[in-house]
Amino acid sequence: MKKILMKNERETTELGFKLGSLIDFPAIVCLSGDLGAGKTTFVQGFSKGLGVSENITSPTFTIVNEYNGRLKLYHFDVYRISSSDEMYDIGFDEYISSDAVCIIEWAEMIEDLLQGIEKLWIEIKYAEGSTFKREFLVRPEGEKYEKLVEELFKE
């Protein structure tokens, strides 16, 4: 696991952009953390790095938005689902087994659906004693994600 401190929103966007720029394979990126901690801000930078030109908004009421970039991007926000079973109704298993990048806000709410699947898990928390700084805990699950994290944090 890698831990990093982001000092402001710009740094959060830049980290997202760098990760999006590095991804060149179908991927699953899980975001969890505090309300208002910067998950959507991170996704906005990530999508730009993936070559998405559209403005990214959180799909809170639609659950998933689709975008085209170097790779297709499925942006999920599962905050409002009441159970993991609802994800089957939208064909979640087809999304995550596709040739696209899936980035999931509030992924901890469907963690049971993600068991045994290689993925990159990013937890975003408010840094202690600060309303601006964020602590990112980045946990790769699988060899390709371990290599991705090494590249992401290479100096």
The strand pair at 27-33 and 101-105 is best described as parallel
Give the pLDDT score at 103: 97
DSSP string, 42-84: HHHHHHHHTT--SPP---TTTSEEEE-SSS-EEEEE-TT-SST
CATH class of 15-124: alpha beta
Backbone angles phi, psi at 103, to 5 degrees: -120, 130
Nearest partner of 138 among 117, 111, 119, 155, judged by Cα? 119
For 26-84, the pLDDT digits (tens) are: 999 999 998 888 899 999 999 999 999 998 888 777 899 999 999 999 999 999 888 88
Which pLDDT band, with edges at 50, 70 and 90, does 97 fall under? Answer: very high
